[in-house]
Structure 1
Amino acid sequence: MNKYGIVILSNPNHNQEESLGRVLNALVLANDLNQQGKEFQIFFQGTGTLWVNLLEDASHPGHALYMNVKQKVKGASKACADIFKANVTTLPLLEEFHIPNVGGATSLAKYMLEGYHMVSF
């Protein structure tokens, strides 16, 4: 069985229209995979960690899509959340790979080696 990793990297504060399109497309893909019973996980990386609090807000256009698949969110990179000052409190902070002088981050390589096909937005 194929497994998929959806990596959200877009910065909600940069080119807001395109960034919104990217995160919505990531969530549409996640919902589609979910409806088809496929195995997947979602990762928030880099400035993508800034999306977490926005998507938690019920008034955000992506909120319903996000809530439909929130149980499939693996987490947010702790190092990225720290660097970009994303106050992530509703998801696990991932520290699987140590970056010298920065701290723990998500090991996307780990998931790729476990057979996840990665798609980034």
Structure 2
Amino acid sequence: MSKAAVIILAGTDGHANLGRLVNGLETAKEFAENDDDEVELIFDGAGTQWIPELEDESNDHHDLYRAVRDDASACDYCSGAFGVDDAVNDAGIVRLDDHDGHPSVRSLVDDGYEVLTF
């Protein structure tokens, strides 16, 4: 059994960031498809900007996102800082504020998760 925390930090600008997003979603999907694994998908920093983009059914990666959406959460502070508060709320994505308004990476490590950043 593996435990992985996939953290999407890449913003929505540029082809390289799109590649990081897709690789992160594919990684989360691979863990989610294995019943013995646990996966947490966290949109943090500029990565929170992807939530409204991916919620749009016309987005090329909407189906990939939907495959892992149930495992997704977002940084509470960064959702506000990057102007996507309403979109995160509308999507029903869990907001994390464990450490000064941000997700606690230390807690993930303490719980045995391998932290993978994209």
Shorter-chain TM-score above 0.5: yes
Secondary structure, in 3 states, of the residue corresponding to 1:76? strand
Query: Which residue of structure 2 aligns with residue 6 of structure 1?
Result: 6
1:36 and 1:28 mapped to 2: Cα distance? 13
Query: Which residue of structure 2 aligns with residue 106 of structure 1?
Result: 103
Match of 2:18 among 17, 20, 24: 20
- TM-score between both structures, scaled by the size of structure 2: 0.90
The sequence identity of aligned pairs, in percent, is 30
1:21 and 1:27 mapped to 2: Cα distance? 10
Query: Where has structure 1 moved over 4 Å in runs of 4 or more?
Result: none
Which structure 1 segments of 5+ residues have no match?
99-103
Select the structure that is richer in helix. 2
Secondary structure, in 3 states, of the residue corresponding to 2:115? strand
Query: Which residue of structure 1 aligns with residue 115 of structure 2?
Result: 118
Q: Which amino acid aligns with 1:120?
A: T
Which structure 2 segments of 5+ residues have no match?
none
1:72 and 1:84 mapped to 2: Cα distance? 21
Alignment of 1:3-82 (within 5 A): 3-13=3-13, 16-37=14-35, 38-73=37-72, 75-82=73-80
1:40 and 1:78 mapped to 2: Cα distance? 19
Secondary structure, in 3 states, of the residue corresponding to 2:10? coil
Query: Which residue of structure 2 aligns with residue 101 of structure 1?
Result: none
2:25 and 2:3 mapped to 1: Cα distance? 16
Report Cα offsets for 1:28-52 as digits up to 9, x if no partner.
Answer: 1111112222211100100000011
How many equivalent residue pairs?
113
